[in-house]
Structure 1
Amino acid sequence: MKYHFITIEGNIGAGKTTLAHLLSRHYNARLILEEFADNPFLPKFYENPQQYAFPLELFFMAERYKQLKELIHTNDLFQRTTITDYLFTKCLLFAKVNLPEEEYRLYQKLFEIIHQQLVQPELLIYLHAPVERLQQNIKKRNRSYEQHIPDEYLLNIQQTYTNYIKQHNMKTLIVDASNADFLGNPKHLQVIIDALEKDYEPGQHYFTLP
């Protein structure tokens, strides 16, 4: 497997972290996971989005930067591959959905200063699932503050990701995760492992699970 830095992305509840764990175990890769539970503004945001969106997004950006900046200086000989369950650009995509225009423009300026300092992934795996499936997964993992996320919000996030991927020509594997069960069905995980054995042109490449 030739990739040294792989990022897994997708909507809330798409299965990013599960797949990241399984791939890191398979490849003995270093795993960097989003520390969402440490964000004190997250439960407050779901209760009052207008009041808490800006500090929520600032906190996420600072934490993601703190995690990813170590990639610039770290060279682990025993773990040559790094897998993350988020793209740093996620900061900007969620801010675009959550912030009013003036706050978004300020946030964007901060993002652009920080973003250029980070290493970018060689390959993006994007898990695409319909909102109905996302809601099922969200209910199953049972985080109290997530239980009332509106379908409209998930659709908005989905569209924002889709637009970003279409506009940026990075190597992206788009996986139809409508029926994904990476833990319970070894064939689903094998599709991803087989896909990672190949090289790709920049742009989007589509995969379905058996």
Structure 2
Amino acid sequence: MQDSPAAQATRKPSRIQLRNRKRILDAALEVFSAHGYRGATLDQIAEEAGISKPNILYYFEGKEEIHVTLLNHLMDEWLAPLRAVDPEGDPLEELLTYVQRKLEMARDLPRESRLFANEILQGAPRMTPHLESVLRPLVDQTAQLISGWIAVGRLAPVDPRHLLFSIWATTQHYADFDAQVRVLMDEAEVHAGAAAHLERMFRRLLTP
């Protein structure tokens, strides 16, 4: 008889268990990013992972727990570049570096970006507590930092929150609308052109 997920949590997972959890989460990321939460099923995840549905339920209580686990991992990774903005650094270069890091994430983590976008489009039913307890304080802190730089003339006047929204929109677009971008662009390497364009755009916007 298999242990419950609660019983498993009291023991350190074995190497095989860690590997199987990773296979499940990798498969779930593929399924959720393609079909959204509502369209995804445990059967699809099981087929993608090459693991039986009962085996998946040995590691996770159900689809929602898998989805929330992915979102929590994603938020930690997604917010790392914003946390890395250095209050002691050059304001313009810190923000331009943030833009480039977000664009790199759109290039390297397109499934994660679509997973997050799908959750937000559905009203963030599983992520609202995380947005309120983690994202909001970090955005408040960053907005205050940007306002301070503006006040002493180190950045051109902008609304800090709308600036962040613009950065997110212009960088994550290349992940969330990748199919459209590749139809409309002739360049072999879309992100090289995007990086140069976004740096010029935000440098002109933010230079005092």
Band the TM-score falls in, shorter-chain normalisation: under 0.3
* Greater Rg by CA: 2
Structure number with higher relative contact order (C-alpha < 8 Å, ≥ 6 residues apart)? 1
TM (norm. structure 1) is 0.27
Higher strand share: 1
TM-score by length of 2: 0.28
> More helix per residue: 1 or 2?
2
